[in-house]
Amino acid sequence: MDKGEKKRFSIKARARSFSYAGKGIATLLREEHNARIHLVAAVVAVAAGILLEISAAEWAVVALCIGGVTAAEAINSAIEALCDRVSPGFDPMIGKTKDLAAAGVLLTAAGAAAAGLLIFIPKIAGLLG
C-alpha cells in the first residue's frame, strides 16, 4: 500500500485495536503499583458518588478525572518502558524524561483530588451539619 493510499475501514481491524488496548490496560493494572492505587481511589470516588447522590455534572467531572489520571498513568508507564528499552543504563536525559512524565501524572492526580474535594466536601459537610 502506498503512503498516499487510505486503508479501508475494517471491523476486524477495529476489534484488534480494542484487543491491544485491553492488553495494555491489563498490563497497566498488573505491573504498575501506582495504577492500582489510582484504581482504588477511583472505586472510592464512585462509591462516594453513589452514596452522596452527586449530580450528572459532578459525575461527568469524576469520570473525566478518573479517565485523565488513568490515561496519564498509562502514558507515563509507556514512556518509562520505552526509556528503559532504549537506554538500560543511567542517562541523565532519560532520567529527566521519566521525571517529567511522572510529574504529568502527579499534576493530573492533584487536579483530580482538588475536583474531588470541591465535589465531596460540601456534600459531606451537609450530612454532618
Q: Report how far apart, in Å, the C-alpha atoms of 38 and of each of 65, 71, 77, 99 are.
A: 11, 11, 13, 19
Rg of the chain in Å (alpha carbons)? 19
pLDDT tens for 38-92 read 999 999 999 999 999 999 999 999 999 999 999 999 999 999 999 999 999 999 9
Other beta carbons less than 10 A from residue 107's beta carbon: 11
Residue 50 makes CB contacts below 8 A (sequence gap 6+) with none
The pTM score is: 0.88
pLDDT tens for 91-104 read 999 999 999 999 99
CATH number of 33-121: 1.10.287.3610
